Amino acid sequence: MKFAVLVFPGSNCDADLYHAIEGVYHETAEYVPYTATSLAGFDAVLVPGGFSYGDYLRSGAIAKLAPIMTAVKAFADEGKPVVGICNGFQILTELGLLPGALLPNRQTHFICDTAALNVVNTNTMFTNQYQDNEQIKLPIAHGEGNYYCDAEMLAQLKTHHQIAFSYQTDVNGSLANIAGITNEAGNVLGMMPHPERAVETLLGSADGKRLFASLIATIRNGVQQPC
């Protein structure tokens, strides 16, 4: 099993993702630079948080044009798992792999805190190791995490059970307190909270471990969980 951890100029959570895969679960992870053009041989792609290209223009707007993103889109279109965390979520919405957009926080300033979340849908390849309606805590660190989509898209997200995580309170102004969503096919996840920063109790929470455990179990079993 092999995980690609993408690296852009300005990424700062790539090492955390690498540790979650290699250090905690002892699976193979490999850094893949933004200049690469192939994802051959990988079982999953992880798009890290940070400030790709300094968040110039708009968070994720430049990163979506990086050479590797053509391969990421093809990888996702084949039904293979892609996870975007924080800036990674922003990049995936800019790329069109996930609906909606991440706007500046309602407070108009950067938030660094621990957020209380609800696991809304446990029937995905990313959440199947959690309990239904489980309450967890994960770190957040973002300035543009305010999820928005129009009313029609929100209805579709609910109808197709694409909301994976929600905040228990209004953290940043996100529509319906959305913290993480999947695409309709269920193989792409974007979330603003950082599970990779919560894989050891020493860090204050290990609630993020089961996201990676869910994905590893799904890949190992060779069965894609429906969304």
**pLDDT (tens digit, 9 = 90+) per residue, 140-163?**
999 999 999 999 999 999 999 999
| pLDDT at residue 163 in the model | 98
Catalytic residues: 86, 194, 196
pLDDT in tens, 173-182: 999 999 999 9
Of 181, 178, 110, which is closest to residue 147 (Cα–Cα)? 178
pLDDT in tens, 55-82: 998 999 999 999 999 999 999 999 999 9
| pLDDT at residue 224 in the model | 46
| pLDDT at residue 222 in the model | 77
What mean pLDDT comes out for the span 189-218?
96
What mean pLDDT comes out for the span 90-107?
98
Asked whether residue 85 carries a pLDDT value surpassing 90, the answer given is: yes
Pairwise CA distance, residues 196 & 98, whole Å: 20
Domains within the chain, CATH numbers bracketed: 2-221 (3.40.50.880)
| pLDDT at residue 225 in the model | 41
Could you give the percent of the chain with pLDDT greater than 90? 95
Helix-helix angle 68-77:87-95, to 10 degrees: 80
* Burial class for 38, CB neighbours closer than 10 Å (0-12, 13-18, 19+): middle
Q: Which residues of 128-164 are buried (b: 16+ CB within 10 A; e: fewer)?
A: bbbeeeeebbbbbbbbbbbbebeeeebeebeebbbbb
For the chain, what is the mean pLDDT?
Answer: 96
Asked whether residue 227 carries a pLDDT value surpassing 60, the answer given is: no
What mean pLDDT comes out for the span 90-116?
97
| pLDDT at residue 22 in the model | 97
- 202 phi/psi in degrees, rounded to 5: -60, -30
Pairwise CA distance, residues 109 & 80, whole Å: 35
SS3 string, 62-87, reads CHHHCCHHHHHHHHHHCCCCEEEECH
| pLDDT at residue 203 in the model | 85
pTM of this structure:
0.96
